[in-house]
Structure 1
Amino acid sequence: MNIRRVVVGVSGGVDSAVATFLLKCKGYEVIGAFMRNWDLNDENGLCNSTQDAQDANWICDRLGIHLHYVNFVKEYWHDVFSYLIKDYETGYTPNPDIMCNKKIKFNSFFKYARENLGADAIATGHYARTSFGEYLSDYKPSRGVRLLKPVDVLKDQTFFLSQVNQEPLLRTIFPLGNLTKNYVKDIAHHAGLDYIVKKKESMGICFIGSRHFQAFISEYIGAQPGVFIDLDDGRVVGEHDGIHHWTVGQRCRIGGVVKPYFVAKKEPTTHNIYVASGTNHPALFTEYFEASDVHWIHSQPKSLVNDGILTCEFRFQHTKPLTKCQIVNLSDGRILVKLGLPLRAITPGQYAVFYLGQECLGSARITNPGPSLFSLGKSVQEEYRLYS
């Protein structure tokens, strides 16, 4: 493919800055684009996106490229944030970063870059690779494209790209896929981007900023009081202001107990939260779960089609180690996942992301964590002994 014009998403951080620099060094016609997805201030009157926009402008001025400002606030609110609120109200714990990539960066932004800026391809500062190579040198659209882990496994961001569709991925360049974070910083230094290197990296959900999550979510969901119930004896052990403040596996602030309580299950209809005593209580662990909204990035794996079972690895939190699992198809587009090891706090609303070797196969949304070890009369210690 003859790629001339590349539109790169410049966020104001070091990763997108270096991606932009590398593309220019390769001789592409590079255009920068800053996406504004959220424009409300935090309680201190600060809007993180304003500073990021200024930093993006500084980067593009430094590198001598033009920067476009693109407003996707309406799309973000409709396609990401409204679903996040609905999920919290119904007891789910969503992942807005995965949805932002699917709906905004690799949908709205991709279309804008292609239709309004004449882009042959887009680029981002994600740490990921594709089967076409870091600069699409092996571009063969008839074969489809596969999403691969980056060289720097500690910065692997394929987890957040696991719902991206083929069309945008076919024309996406990941310049940092074969680089380590430390090397990226070195490149930034030699490119005269020291100001950005020293900038603190953004962490957590982008639109919350410095605010505490429970204070933020209370601005959009009213109080829905309920009680904490001890799963072992049925006693009411505390009160809360709404299930949207809590997620499975989270420690509860309940005083006067020998062992701290952790959220085991939430009931949206009654607003009851069932809690388990101790972080390794068997009610927090499960060996199975169901998932829906299955998305295979390239195609449904052949073993799942031919044999009905796919053996691979998965995680549902991007910082956690990969765990072996087996997948079978159920009706209505759902899948059943059997874990090779009982895991703690499998959370409805989160995405289970699947891997086979270096390839990120895709993901599915966890809907039902299945029976816990507690409900099956099993202990965590015994199960781990058997698996070992």
Structure 2
Amino acid sequence: MPFFRKVVVAVSGGVDSAVASLLLKNKGFNVQGVFMRNWDEVEEHGACSVTQDLKDAEWVCCKIGIPFHYVSFVKEYWIEVFSAFLEDYRSGQTPNPDILCNRVIKFASFYKYAVTTLKADAIATGHYACTSFGDYLQYHNPEKGCRLLKARDSFKDQTFFLSQVPQISLQNTMFPLGNLLKREVKSIAKKYGLDQIAEKKESTGICFIGLRNFKDFISEYVDPNPGNLVDIDSGKVVGSHSGIHHWTIGQRCKLSGIPKPYFVAKKDSKSHDIFVAVGTEHPSLYTQYVFVEAPHWIHSTPDELEEHGILECWFRFQHTKPLNKCCLVKISQQELLVHLSVPLRAITPGQYGVFYRGEECLGSARITHPGPSLRSLGMELSSFPSNDKNLIEHV
């Protein structure tokens, strides 16, 4: 691998990026670590402190023996990720900032910084993913293009969150953990004296929210917009709310004095009414159809879709949920219909539908709205097998 000598690693202060850096150095690469600051906690009353992560990242680089750099993408994050996040919530959608952050910050702003400022030949991250170019770009062939592949660790696989990565960045990205299990990564960290990082609690959820209640956080940025909670079957008002941005599809509504458990089935961004249904498996919560925007295809537009307007593949819109066999139908250049083999619960506008075929993550598209619910079609969930062959339980 003589061409890729200088590799810049996105170090976060966690065990995954630490071990990725270590493995690269042990392979003989000229490795440098970069800690990205994407959120200004000074403006957030200490909600998302990066101080400890910064110290840990610098300590890791010192321990491994690689240069350490610090770069701020606060402005870029605010403009390209957080502003879009707020706009989605104002319109009643539920966005996924992690996917957008990877696309525009880690694999665009950070990639550009590494290549132009630090003169890197390639970048690397601690993501659990593989590519057709190999964990260390040993099969690098730009003419064939690079394909994003599932990680060996099916539980930790992060291709879902990488489903919008630009092709040019992917061609020059190493994923040293792609063929390792999480327990193996922690074992490597301990072997090389990185015990304090190996035992560090992993961060979960959205970084800029931190440990605060989500409703409290979003209320600082989105003005109240009250409306009614309406029973979707009877049409009766059963409660009220302070804004549709506080609620997401499928969420339980705890209503005072009403013993029946209600769940959010639909939101009306014009009237600000939220339609709720009794029971977690109410047919209004399920659909077999999903409308999405024009997808981002990581490698290229699949031939079947290009030539015939139809593609059979696998779908998921939540990272932890099973893959669902589907058929994509091209409606226009800007819209696709996803026909699911098994109905899914709580399809949420603003989220991403991610498409797979075999071991490959093909790409993803933003969900604009679900199709007709089982309720509107006069169907019940019980009419579908509970253990359907069209579901894959793991990535």
TM bracket, shorter-chain basis:
over 0.9
Aligned ranges 1:103-142 → 2 under 5 Å: 103-142=104-143
Give 1:44 shift. Answer: 6.9
> In 1, Cα distance between the equivalents of 2:365 and 2:68?
35
> In 1, Cα distance between the equivalents of 2:341 and 2:112?
40
Residues 262-294 of structure 1: CA distance to partner in whole angstroms, max 9, x if unpaired? 000001111100000100000000010110041
Give 1:387 shift. Answer: 6.7
Residues 228-283 of structure 1: CA distance to partner in whole angstroms, max 9, x if unpaired? 00000011111111000000000012133343000000011111000001000000
After superposition, the Cα gap between the structure-2 partners of 1:255 and 1:47, relative to the gap in structure 1 and judged at 3 Å, is closer
- Number of residues paired by the alignment? 388
Q: TM-score, normalised by structure 2?
A: 0.96
**Aligned-partner SS, 2:50:** helix
Where does the alignment leave 5 or more consecutive residues of structure 1 unmatched? none
* 1:327/1:336 contact within 8 Å kept: yes
**Aligned-partner SS, 2:253:** coil
**1:324 and 2:325 equivalent?**
yes
> In 2, Cα distance between the equivalents of 1:20 and 1:383?
47
* 1:42/1:209 contact within 8 Å kept: no
Give 1:227 shift. Answer: 1.1
**1:374 and 2:357 equivalent?**
no
What is the aligned partner in structure 1 of residue 22 from structure 2? 21
What is the aligned partner in structure 1 of residue 194 from structure 2? 193
> In 2, Cα distance between the equivalents of 1:386 and 1:353?
22
Cα RMSD, aligned residues only: 1.5
**Aligned-partner SS, 2:36:** strand
Q: TM-score, normalised by structure 1?
A: 0.97
> In 2, Cα distance between the equivalents of 1:42 and 1:198?
30
**1:34 and 2:35 equivalent?**
yes
Residues 200-251 of structure 1: CA distance to partner in whole angstroms, max 9, x if unpaired? 1000001111111111101101111111000000111111110000000000
**Aligned-partner SS, 1:153:** coil
* 2:230/2:273 contact within 8 Å kept: yes
> In 2, Cα distance between the equivalents of 1:199 and 1:178?
22
* 2:294/2:336 contact within 8 Å kept: no
Residues 112-148 of structure 1: CA distance to partner in whole angstroms, max 9, x if unpaired? 0000000000000000000000000000001100000
What is the aligned partner in structure 2 of residue 256 from structure 1? 257
> In 1, Cα distance between the equivalents of 2:85 and 2:48?
20
**Aligned-partner SS, 2:280:** coil
Aligned ranges 1:195-214 → 2 under 5 Å: 195-214=196-215
**Aligned-partner SS, 1:155:** coil
Where does the alignment leave 5 or more consecutive residues of structure 2 unmatched? 390-395
> In 2, Cα distance between the equivalents of 1:233 and 1:46?
42
What is the aligned partner in structure 1 of residue 60 from structure 2? 59
What is the aligned partner in structure 1 of residue 392 from structure 2? none
* 1:147/1:361 contact within 8 Å kept: yes
> In 2, Cα distance between the equivalents of 1:138 and 1:377?
52
What is the aligned partner in structure 2 of residue 8 from structure 1? 9
What is the aligned partner in structure 2 of residue 48 from structure 1? 49
**1:102 and 2:103 equivalent?**
yes
**Matched AA of 1:125:** G
Residues 54-90 of structure 1: CA distance to partner in whole angstroms, max 9, x if unpaired? 1101101111111110100000000000000000000
**Aligned-partner SS, 1:362:** strand
Aligned ranges 1:202-241 → 2 under 5 Å: 202-241=203-242
**Aligned-partner SS, 1:48:** coil
Residues 328-370 of structure 1: CA distance to partner in whole angstroms, max 9, x if unpaired? 1111321100000011001001000000010000001110101
What is the aligned partner in structure 2 of residue 275 from structure 1? 276
What is the aligned partner in structure 1 of residue 291 from structure 2? 290
Aligned ranges 1:296-307 → 2 under 5 Å: 296-307=297-308
**Aligned-partner SS, 1:207:** helix
> In 2, Cα distance between the equivalents of 1:74 and 1:35?
12
What is the aligned partner in structure 1 of residue 316 from structure 2? 315
Residues 155-202 of structure 1: CA distance to partner in whole angstroms, max 9, x if unpaired? 010000000110100000000000000000000001110010111100
After superposition, the Cα gap between the structure-2 partners of 1:62 and 1:190, relative to the gap in structure 1 and judged at 3 Å, is same
* 2:287/2:345 contact within 8 Å kept: yes
**Aligned-partner SS, 1:330:** strand
**Matched AA of 2:93:** Y
Instruction: State, as a whole percentage, how many aligned pairs show the same letter.
Output: 61
> In 2, Cα distance between the equivalents of 1:210 and 1:120?
37
After superposition, the Cα gap between the structure-2 partners of 1:46 and 1:224, relative to the gap in structure 1 and judged at 3 Å, is closer
**Aligned-partner SS, 2:103:** helix
**Aligned-partner SS, 2:366:** strand
